[in-house]
Amino acid sequence: MRSSNLGLAAALLAASSLAACGKPAQPAPPPTPRVGYVTVAEKAVTLTSELPGRTAAYETSEVRPQVNGLILSRLFEEGNQVRAGQPLYRIDPQPYQAQVASARAALIRAQSSIASSQALARRYGELVRINAIARQDFENAQTAAAQAQADVTAQRAALRTAQIDLARTTVSAPISGRIGTSVYTTGALVTAAQANPLTTIQRLDPIFVDLTQSSADLLRLRQQMLAGDVSRSGGDARVRLKLEDGSTYPIEGKLKFAAVTVDATTGTQTIRAVFANPQGLLLPGMFVRAELVEGTQRSAIAVPQRAVSRDERGRATVLVIGKDSKAEPRVLTTSRTAGADWLVTAGLRPGDRVIVAGAQMLRPGTVVAGYPWSENARPAAAPAQGR
């Protein structure tokens, strides 16, 4: 009897073992999602704007003749650097040399006649005192002496005018700069103050960059400055250039002025900046993009642009790590971008933890494990839930 009971117990134990082997294993709980976050804090942010623009010469002078004549020679190489006062063209001087000689002879003649007229006026003065001549004759002699003196002054002015015209037969550079193509060649007949210039000189160091910016953006910036939210250090705003090939111009420029009139068709204002150009890298007419440093906004809240998405209504939203380490959505009000960040005016408070990495497939309310995010940060392995 006892042996039968032992056999029954062994059979039941074997059956229970077989049943246990056939039971399916329980799946392991999914791991807690790892997300990278940044902690919101107020900080000073430098405000910049990237604007399109064109370069323009600092000074431009169209060289024109001031006398008539034939061009005898050209005294410069096209495209070279010239200095102010350097001779550029030589116009036939012979007619003007003759005018100078004629004016000089007229002056000598006037000077010789003044001596006799003054002597006559003195003699008549002695005679009129003793009533030897009529007083009218004395006054006529005085008038003749004064006219002779005036003739001398006039002839001196005529000689000076002739000398100026003679000097203008050498056409000189009015400014220093890079000279362009010569429109007229040797032997061409030119006239004073003609419509077409002989050539053009442009001063390229320094050089202007004319930018266009929305008048609404400028108005907002001025209002922020008046309210004290944005400050500008120094007198001139700093400007950096990106050239047509995408490279950055190595020299920083300064903002000089903004136009006082808004273009009615485009709603933009022209802003002029000036840059040093010692190597002549910038040429007039080049298209550039300028990064204008407008000022510094104190106590700004900035979040990385990669953390911000748009909901179905087009509103800017982020996920933050909220209570009990759950992901919570927040709707933001943003004002503008600052580099790789959005400036937030409402929706976040200092101390909030905004999810930057790992939020692509994350649902609101999901429990997450966060780590401080940076460009080089790498998440560690997360423990499974329930362990």
* Per-residue pLDDT tens digits for 131-164: 777 777 767 777 877 787 888 889 999 999 999 9
* Per-residue pLDDT tens digits for 56-101: 999 999 999 999 999 999 999 999 999 999 999 999 999 999 999 9
> Cα dist. 266→214, 261, 262, 288, 298 in Å?
8, 12, 8, 19, 32
Q: What does the pLDDT read at residue 18? A: 43
Which CATH number applies to 47-58+206-298? Answer: 2.40.30.170
Which CATH number applies to 67-91+169-196? Answer: 2.40.50.100
If pLDDT is split at 50, 70 and 90, which confidence band does 6 have? very low
The beta strand positions in 184-286, using DSSP E, are 189-190, 199-214, 230-231, 238-242, 253-258, 268-275
The CATH classification of domain 93-168, taken from the options 1.10.3470, 2.60.40, 3.40.190, 1.10.287: 1.10.287
Whether the CB-CB separation of 306 and 295 falls below 8 Å is answered with: no
For residues 77 and 61, give the distance between their C-alpha atoms in angstroms, rounded to a whole number.
17
For residues 60 and 64, give the distance between their C-alpha atoms in angstroms, rounded to a whole number.
13
Domain boundaries, the chain: 34-43+300-372, 47-58+206-298, 67-91+169-196, 93-168
Upstream peptide bond of 329 is cis (omega within 30 degrees of 0): no
* Per-residue pLDDT tens digits for 35-54: 889 999 888 887 777 888 99
Contacts (Cβ under 8 Å, ≥6 apart) of 293: 46, 47, 48, 237, 238, 239, 240
The tokens for 197 are 């210039």
If pLDDT is split at 50, 70 and 90, which confidence band does 2 have? very low
Which CATH number applies to 34-43+300-372? Answer: 2.40.420.20
Domain 67-91+169-196 in the same topology as domain 34-43+300-372 = no
Most confident of 13-22, 24-33, 311-320: 311-320
Mean per-residue pLDDT, 315-324? 89
Whether the CB-CB separation of 205 and 57 falls below 8 Å is answered with: no
With CA atoms as reference, report the closest residue to 295 among 48, 42, 12: 48
